[in-house]
Amino acid sequence: MATILDGKALAAKCKERVKQEAASLKRTPGLAVIIVGDNPASRVYVNSKRKDCEECGFFSEEYALPESTTQVELIALIEKLNAREEIDGILCQLPLPEAIDEEAVLMAISPEKDVDGFHPMNMGALLVGKEGFLPCTPYGIMEILAEYGIDPKGKHCVVIGRSNIVGKPMALLLLQKHGTVTVCHSRTTNLKEICLQADILVAAVGKVDMVTADMVKPGAVVIDVAMNRNAAGKLCGDVDYPAVSALASAITPVPGGVGPMTRAMLMQNTLLAAQKHQR
Ligand code: GUN
């Protein structure tokens, strides 16, 4: 039976450490969260982020803008937040309404306040191995691996998904830790064969039961990034958890695995931003 990689417990530990470090700063760290429109999933995420800020002793501001908000209005708000000293981090919840160019909005956030790590400056820093904000989900996964003594060095790491938010930065972080990395995606023709070679398998697709037991090498470490609902309406990831957990050496549950660590790393990045701004 696999070790359950308890992201919830680790996240609580991380947030406690962040809270203690934040308390020693001259000024309370501040996070501004922007949400545009009324995507129900986004609303849940934004509420959680507010709660996390309270737990860590941060101050937070929420900007809930209507679906009809224009790109110009949104960027004007971001520029105002960029200029405010007491705001250390700015997060614009994705997805944005179709009429808004996501890239232009992410580019408008000052790289020094980009606690999501989505600005091309921070993405580029990650690519070349320089200091910058790391995207929270892959960052959280690296923390889970470290906590459980799982070293990617020399391992075949297979990442399913190539998004800017998860798949690509995940591949870079595993590579930085000397993993041998393969990135699979929707056009990959021999997905099962590649997955069967994985010592560490990261699934970030968003499709129920995408990873079945016949795709997993016995003893592999399985990281499930997705947050889906199955036909019965129950929260689940990409991995067929009951079958895969019987043969993996370690696995993240959904919920309670990667999700809480994503949130904890946002707090970590906000603390880091505040420390830099107060230096
Ligand atoms: N939408 C889904 N995940 C994320 C995230 O990590 N950050 C932001 N800003 N939006 C998201």
For 224-277, the pLDDT digits (tens) are 999 999 999 999 999 999 999 999 999 999 999 999 999 999 999 999 999 999
Atom of ligand 1 lying closest to residue 95 CA: 1
Per-residue pLDDT of the chain (279 residues; tens, 9 = 90+): 899 999 999 999 999 999 999 999 999 999 999 999 999 999 999 999 999 999 999 999 999 999 999 999 999 999 999 999 999 999 999 999 999 999 999 999 999 999 999 999 999 999 999 999 999 999 999 999 999 999 999 999 999 999 999 999 999 999 999 999 999 999 999 999 999 999 999 999 999 999 999 999 999 999 999 999 999 999 999 999 999 999 999 999 999 999 999 999 999 999 999 999 997
Pocket test for ligand 1, best of 165, 166, 263, 266 (most atoms within 8 A of CB): 165
Condensed to tens digits (0 to 9), the pLDDT of residues 82-99 reads 999 999 999 999 999 999
* Centre of ligand 1 from the C-alpha of residue 205, in Å: 15
What is the pLDDT, as a whole number, of residue 257? 98
Question: Would you say 242 and 254 are in contact if contact means Cβ atoms under 8 Å apart?
Answer: no
Q: Which residue has the CA at smallest separation from atom 1 of ligand 1?
A: 94
Question: Would you say 3 and 249 are in contact if contact means Cβ atoms under 8 Å apart?
Answer: yes
Q: Which residue has the CA at smallest separation from atom 9 of ligand 1?
A: 93
State the DSSP H helix or E strand holding residue 181, giving kind and residue range, or none if neither.
strand 180-184
Q: Which residue has the CA at smallest separation from atom 7 of ligand 1?
A: 93
What is the pLDDT, as a whole number, of residue 36? 98
Question: Would you say 251 and 219 are in contact if contact means Cβ atoms under 8 Å apart?
Answer: no
**90 by DSSP, 3-state: which?**
strand
Task: Name which of 204, 219, 216, 212 is nearest 262 in CA terms.
Answer: 204
What is the pLDDT, as a whole number, of residue 39? 96
Task: Name which of 279, 277, 276, 273 is nearest 115 in CA terms.
Answer: 273
Pocket-forming residues, ligand 1, beta carbon under 6 Å: 91-94, 116, 136, 165, 262
* Centre of ligand 1 from the C-alpha of residue 214, in Å: 31
What is the pLDDT, as a whole number, of residue 12? 98
Quote the pTM value.
0.97
What is the pLDDT, as a whole number, of residue 1? 85
- Active-site positions read 49, 93, 116
What is the pLDDT, as a whole number, of residue 139? 98
Task: Name which of 177, 172, 236, 246 is nearest 216 in CA terms.
Answer: 246
What is the pLDDT, as a whole number, of residue 279? 72
Helix/strand/coil percent split, the chain, to 5: 45, 15, 40
